[in-house]
Amino acid sequence: MGTWDTGHFDNDTAADFSGRLDDAPEAERATLIRAALNAVIEAPDYEGEVAVAAAALVGSQCPGGEAVTTAYGPDKPLPPLPADLRPLAVKALDAVLGESSELRELWEEAGDKEWAQGVARLREVLAAAG
């Protein structure tokens, strides 16, 4: 995992996901986000970085959510996302933070607590809007 900071898009995999969203037709972007969330629920070791980025995009449209302003996020605006992505994003973040998550384990081994705290804050926003 090539990371440079603890933000939701501060890694190569999430930045690549942003590029795929920008390349996709607007009508397909919600489908890509849904697929990223579902993938990590089904297999917690599968691109957790992408699921966190996808959840951040869903969270950005929730009350109290933070706008995605990083240069590594999508350049093109997202259409309004379906509300049913919110509980799906919560499940995905639960998988990313769960006991069998390699991504969580890597951050813990690095001794970093800021990443998990940021993901937990995002989860709170999504759960409240759920």
**pTM, whole model, 2 decimals?**
0.93
Asked if the structure places residue 118 within a domain, the reply is yes
Asked if the structure places residue 2 within a domain, the reply is no
Q: What is the C-alpha to C-alpha distance for residues 73 and 114, in angstroms, rounded to an integer?
A: 19
What pLDDT band is residue 63 in, cutting at 50, 70 and 90?
A: very high
Asked if the structure places residue 3 within a domain, the reply is no
Asked if the structure places residue 69 within a domain, the reply is yes
pLDDT in tens, 18-48: 999 999 999 999 999 999 999 999 887 667 8
pLDDT in tens, 65-106: 999 999 999 999 999 999 999 999 999 999 999 888 888 888
Residue 102 three-state SS: helix
Range of the domain at 48: 12-129
Total domain count, the chain: 1
Asked if the structure places residue 7 within a domain, the reply is no
- For residue 25, the Cα-to-chain-centroid distance in whole angstroms is 20
Q: What are the Cα distances from residue 5, in Å, to 54, 75, 115, 124?
A: 17, 20, 9, 21
Tokens of 10: 């501060």
